Amino acid sequence: MASIKINNLGKVYAGDVRAVEDINLDIADGEFIVLVGPSGCGKSTLLRMIAGLETITEGDLFIGDKRVNGLEPAERDIAMVFQNYALYPHMTVYNNLAYGLKNRGFPKDEIEKRVQETAKMLEIEQFLDRKPRALSGGQRQRVAMGRALVREPAAFLLDEPLSNLDAKLRVQMRLEIKQLQRRLKTTSLYVTHDQLEAMTLGDRLVVLNQGNIEQVGSPIDVYNRPESLFVAEFIGSPSMNLFSQADLDGPTNENAAKHLPEGTDILGLRPDQLLFEAPDTPHIRLDCKVALYEPAGAESHLYLILNSNGQHVTMRVHGEPPVHEGGDISIYAPVSAVHPFNSTSGRRTD
């Protein structure tokens, strides 16, 4: 086990492609970090640089106290779980798990012991003699996890490990991974672009955008207080409604504007912060048309169109709302719920 220290890390691929820029991040021993960001933002690149599969072109990387920039993957004492699992197809599950231990010269009985223990932990004992192609997707996923666990490395790196599983299995494996990490307390870096995984798995969430870190924090902090417009839009599903100050007219909204911080010209409101009735405190008022009502079980989504500029507004409601499709409706939100942003800097203003 070890901490990971990332100092000004950057990656320029051949052909002057800047994938990652000036990343700084200190990961404590035993911490579970989740990396999120849109496709192509450099998540895999960052992870692969830590693994040693891509050369580091700028900055320093420390695992434990050791600078590992020039070290081979094998010398970094990390384990990686690949999106496509990358199990060795010609080896049995047993040998897939044992391969890394054999290469490191572990004695035979120690290998046997560790493989059996790991297999038991992941409930794959009955598959030890099978080849990977004779396993289901979920079982392969477990074997891939097992191959990482069996070596008891200093850190786990996981690159979208669940994205090839169906929805139900994903939920199950997500919980198992979380429990495993809690139990083993191994420093972990987990790449995903699944909202739910991002919110639930990690101790800290790192939001990446175009090779830069947008925000680092506990998932709930990032959700409650997105520091930039990008994070505001990216985290949360359905995503936050953003209104331009200029499109909000009427005396109510003019009054509300006085209570917003200096420089605010974008107002963000989460779909569940919108109300059917005006609160007593200063508030925002939105006059809309109902476009679509989408019941989805416990909660429903209401899609509205803002009268002043025709923009789409998403609202999350519980139970049957007092509306009909095509009808007019006014919705409200207290100023205290507004996420205020400045459009030029893209940052939060409070």
Ligand X SMILES: Nc1ncnc2c1ncn2[C@@H]1O[C@H](COP(=O)(O)OP(=O)(O)OP(=O)(O)O)[C@@H](O)[C@H]1O
Binding site for ligand X (CB under 6 A): 13, 17, 19, 37, 39-45, 193
Query: In 210-338, which ranges are E strands?
Result: 212-217, 241-244, 266-269, 283-296, 299-306, 312-318, 328-334
Q: Which is nearer to Mg ion, 170 or 270 (CB)?
A: 170
- CA 203/CA 132 separation, integer angstroms: 32
Check residue 113 for interaction with other proteins (CB under 8 A): no
Q: Which residue has its beta carbon closest to Mg ion?
A: 44
- CA 348/CA 331 separation, integer angstroms: 24
Quick one: what does residue 41 bind among ligand X, Mg ion, other proteins, none, with the CB cut-off 5 to 8 Å set by partner type? ligand X
- CA 279/CA 33 separation, integer angstroms: 38
Check residue 53 for interaction with other proteins (CB under 8 A): yes
In whole angstroms, the minimum distance from the beta carbon of 193 to ligand X comes to 5
- CA 47/CA 69 separation, integer angstroms: 13
Site string for other proteins, 63-82 (x = CB under 8 A): ---------xxx---xxx-x
Amino acid at 91: M
Can you tell me which of 99, 276, 293, 303 binds other proteins, judged by CB under 8 A? 99
Quick one: what does residue 104 bind among Mg ion, other proteins, ligand X, none, with the CB cut-off 5 to 8 Å set by partner type? other proteins
Q: Which helix (H) or strand (E) holds 5?
A: strand 4-13
Check residue 183 for interaction with other proteins (CB under 8 A): no
Check residue 147 for interaction with other proteins (CB under 8 A): yes
Q: Which is nearer to other proteins, 136 or 336 (CB)?
A: 136
Can you tell me which of 15, 65, 89, 280 binds other proteins, judged by CB under 8 A? 89
DSSP calls for 162-223:
TTTS-HHHHHHHHHHHHHHHHHH--EEEEE---HHHHHHS-SEEEEEETTEEEEEE-HHHHH
Check residue 152 for interaction with other proteins (CB under 8 A): no
Quick one: what does residue 86 bind among other proteins, ligand X, Mg ion, none, with the CB cut-off 5 to 8 Å set by partner type? other proteins
Check residue 46 for interaction with other proteins (CB under 8 A): no
Check residue 107 for interaction with other proteins (CB under 8 A): no
Q: Which is nearer to ligand X, 96 or 188 (CB)?
A: 188
In whole angstroms, the minimum distance from the beta carbon of 41 to ligand X comes to 4
Can you tell me which of 8, 24, 55, 103 binds other proteins, judged by CB under 8 A? 103
Cβ burial of 296 (10 Å; 0-12, 13-18, 19+) is exposed
Please answer whether residues 255 and 242 qualify as being in contact, where contact means their C-beta atoms are separated by less than 8 angstroms. no
- Order of strands, edge to edge, in the sheet holding 339-341? 241-244, 266-269, 339-341
305 - beta bridge partners? Answer: 289, 312
Q: Which helix (H) or strand (E) holds 255?
A: helix 251-258
Please give the backbone phi and psi of residue 201, each rounded to the nearest 5 degrees, phi first. -80, -50
In whole angstroms, the minimum distance from the beta carbon of 231 to other proteins comes to 31
Quote the tokens at residue 188.
Answer: 């972990």
Quick one: what does residue 147 bind among ligand X, other proteins, Mg ion, none, with the CB cut-off 5 to 8 Å set by partner type? other proteins
Which positions touch other proteins (CB under 8 A)? 51-53, 72-74, 78-80, 82, 84, 86, 88-90, 99-100, 103-104, 131, 133, 147, 151
